[in-house]
Amino acid sequence: MLILDFDGVIADAFTECAVVTYYADHDPTAVADKPLAELAAALPSGFVARFRTVRNHARLLADFMVARYPAADSIRGVEDYEVLTARIPPAELAGLVEGATAVRAVLRERQRDAWLGMHTLYPGIAGLLRRHQGRGTSVVTAKDEQSVWDILAHHRLESAVTQVIGECSDKRTAVQQLADADGLPTSAVTFIDDHITNALAVRDTGATSLWAWWGYHTPGHIERAITRKQRRVYLPELSDLTA
């Protein structure tokens, strides 16, 4: 059984994620009245720089919101990131996540082609998914389920995936449940994620957990992966990968 993360593993959507993060406190309908390209071009350079730093640390949509705070300019490592995240009031963070989700939904509906065009597949991913079609391939991701299905359909890959578990913050449990549902031990699962925390958590289930080197990570993540002897996977290896 093959189980993959989405953003940072199957597709890159850096600009789309930056847009929904920046406009999270705006009226979604008013945001969608402007072309997506215009919305992206209007992002302040300082925000984009912060978002680029934060994106390397983030696992969830809530994590992206840290980039909205100027204090994120001072992030130099995981400790800085975690300290800043802890300072954001939970209710405030939840409101921003709700707003970003609403902005994404309206953009997906009203500017469908432009929105889909902001999601680029990584080389070799389409072949990997098609090669495993019919073998119970699933996606476990922090992104919402509908967005994932729409993007997969845009790339004609929806039939290559059996199930999408969206808005997932506990990938370890999700992987265990998917394996159980198919009557498989977790040792029969191959899991790919670009965030070291997720890769290590799923590895502890007994699954073959591969850390995607092409995704988003920090020097601290690399050190942690080396310390924990976490196995990496590189894009050129996907052509021979079988789960």
Claim to verify: residue 175 and residue 105 sit in the same structural domain: no
What is the mean predicted confidence (pLDDT) over 206-232?
A: 96
Beta strands in the chain, from DSSP E residues, in sequence order: 2-4, 11-12, 120-121, 138-140, 163-165, 190-193, 208-212, 232-233
Claim to verify: residue 143 and residue 228 sit in the same structural domain: yes
What is the mean predicted confidence (pLDDT) over 103-130?
A: 97
- Which of residues 54, 83, 116 is at a domain's end? 116
List, for residues 23-49, the tens digit of each pLDDT value.
999 999 999 999 999 999 999 999 999
Claim to verify: residue 221 and residue 128 sit in the same structural domain: yes
- Which of residues 93, 116, 139 is at a domain's end? 116
Question: Mean pLDDT of all residues in the chain?
Answer: 96
CB 192 within 8 Å of CB 230: no
Alpha carbon distance 128, 145 (integer Å): 20
Q: What is the percentage of the chain residues whose pLDDT exceeds 90?
A: 96
CATH number where 132 lies: 3.40.50.1000
Residue written as token pair 């409101």:
95
Claim to verify: residue 233 and residue 135 sit in the same structural domain: yes
Claim to verify: residue 55 and residue 153 sit in the same structural domain: no
Q: Identify the band that residue 191 occupies on the pLDDT scale cut at 50, 70 and 90.
A: very high
List, for residues 140-149, the tens digit of each pLDDT value.
999 999 999 9
- Which of residues 72, 93, 116 is at a domain's end? 116
- Determine the pLDDT at residue 223: 95
Claim to verify: residue 106 and residue 44 sit in the same structural domain: yes
- Determine the pLDDT at residue 11: 97
Claim to verify: residue 101 and residue 158 sit in the same structural domain: no
Q: Per the structure, how many domains does the chain have?
A: 2
Claim to verify: residue 231 and residue 204 sit in the same structural domain: yes
List, for residues 118-145, the tens digit of each pLDDT value.
999 999 999 999 999 988 899 999 999 9
CB 30 within 8 Å of CB 49: no
Cβ burial 143-159 (10 Å sphere, 16+ → b, else e): bbeebbbbbbebbebee
Claim to verify: residue 95 and residue 168 sit in the same structural domain: no
Alpha carbon distance 98, 202 (integer Å): 28
Claim to verify: residue 135 and residue 63 sit in the same structural domain: no
- Determine the pLDDT at residue 207: 97
Q: Quote the DSSP letter at residue 122.
A: P
Distances (CA, A) of 134 to 8, 27, 96, 217: 23, 41, 38, 31
Q: Which domain, by its residues, includes 164? A: 2-11+121-240
Claim to verify: residue 94 and residue 151 sit in the same structural domain: no
Claim to verify: residue 207 and residue 127 sit in the same structural domain: yes
What backbone phi and psi angles, to 5 degrees, belong to 109? -80, -45
- Determine the pLDDT at residue 36: 97
Residue 158 neighbours by CB under 8 Å, 6+ apart: 149, 152
